[in-house]
């Protein structure tokens, strides 16, 4: 029976494609939690999947030149949040990076969450989930939240017209409407900059 569960799990994992991060919760329809955990451990020992943290696995991407690639930090963070039925909001350099304002890849990647705080080390990077207030999480899973966090990272006195232009060009009309609607969740100093972005 466990072999059958294991094969079905592997079929499902491969169907999701390389780079997918997951946990036991995706397979609980196949059997008891103990059987699922044991099957995941066996698949990891065989090298079919990779254990990237406590209860978190991925189906690693493979590059012809570089070999097995590092796990998707964003994918792992989202799986941790989903396990806790919580949401994420990217912060700092990662938000600036997402908008083309920075190429920096920080060693410590911080997400805000409405779930519990947690840290997870992946290779030479650390994912930090930091519990935040409901007001702060109001723009979670929204492009407007990414813009606000990127501007906060750059800093009040360092935002240039070039930054404003890049953000403006990277947003769709929908994103701009959403950002305008969420302007009251931004600090006062940021509101004139947001108005330039959405105009």
Given a cut of 60, whether residue 29 has pLDDT beyond it is: yes
Give the closest residue to 151 by CA, choosing from 88, 107, 195: 195
Is the four-CA dihedral 168, 171, 177, 178 of positive or negative sign?
negative
**128 and 113 Cβ atoms separated by less than 8 Å:** no
Residue 192: band (very low, low, confident or very high) from pLDDT cuts 50, 70, 90: very high
Given this model, what pLDDT does residue 33 score? 93
CATH number of 2-68: 1.10.10.10
Widest CA span in the chain: 63
Residue 184: band (very low, low, confident or very high) from pLDDT cuts 50, 70, 90: very high
Given this model, what pLDDT does residue 107 score? 78
- pLDDT tens for 76-112 read 999 999 988 999 998 888 899 889 898 777 778 899 9
Angle, in degrees to the nearest 10, between helices 191-198 and 173-181: 150
Given a cut of 80, whether residue 13 has pLDDT beyond it is: yes
Q: Where are the chain's structural domains?
A: 2-68, 73-198
- pLDDT tens for 47-60 read 999 999 889 999 99
Given a cut of 80, whether residue 3 has pLDDT beyond it is: no
Given a cut of 60, whether residue 1 has pLDDT beyond it is: no
Q: What share of the chain is helix, strand, coil (3-state, %, to 5)?
A: 50, 15, 35
**Count of Cβ atoms closer than 10 Å to residue 171 Cβ:** 20
- pLDDT tens for 118-177 read 998 888 888 999 999 998 898 888 889 999 999 999 999 999 999 999 999 999 999 999
Given this model, what pLDDT does residue 24 score? 95
64, two tokens: 């012809």
Given this model, what pLDDT does residue 2 score? 63
């Amino acid at each position: 029976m466990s072999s059958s569960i294991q094969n079905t799990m592997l079929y499902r994992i491969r169907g999701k494609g390389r780079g997918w991060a997951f946990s036991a919760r995706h397979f609980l329809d196949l059997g008891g939690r103990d059987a699922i955990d044991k099957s995941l451990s066996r698949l990891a020992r065989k090298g079919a999947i990779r254990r990237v943290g406590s209860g978190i696995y991925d189906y690693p991407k493979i590059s012809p030149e570089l070999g097995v690639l590092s796990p998707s930090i964003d994918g792992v963070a989202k799986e941790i949040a989903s396990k806790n039925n919580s949401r994420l909001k990217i912060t700092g350099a990662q938000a600036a990076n997402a908008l083309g304002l920075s190429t920096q890849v920080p060693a410590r990647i911080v997400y805000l969450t409405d779930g519990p705080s947690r840290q997870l080390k992946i290779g030479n990077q650390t994912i930090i989930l930091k519990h935040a207030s409901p007001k702060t999480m109001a723009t979670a899973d929204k492009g407007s939240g990414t813009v606000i966090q990127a501007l906060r990272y750059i800093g009040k006195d360092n935002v240039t017209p070039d930054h404003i232009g890049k953000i403006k060009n990277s947003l769709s009309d929908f994103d701009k409407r959403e950002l305008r609607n969420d302007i009251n969740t931004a600090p006062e100093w940021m509101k004139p900059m947001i108005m330039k972005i959405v105009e």
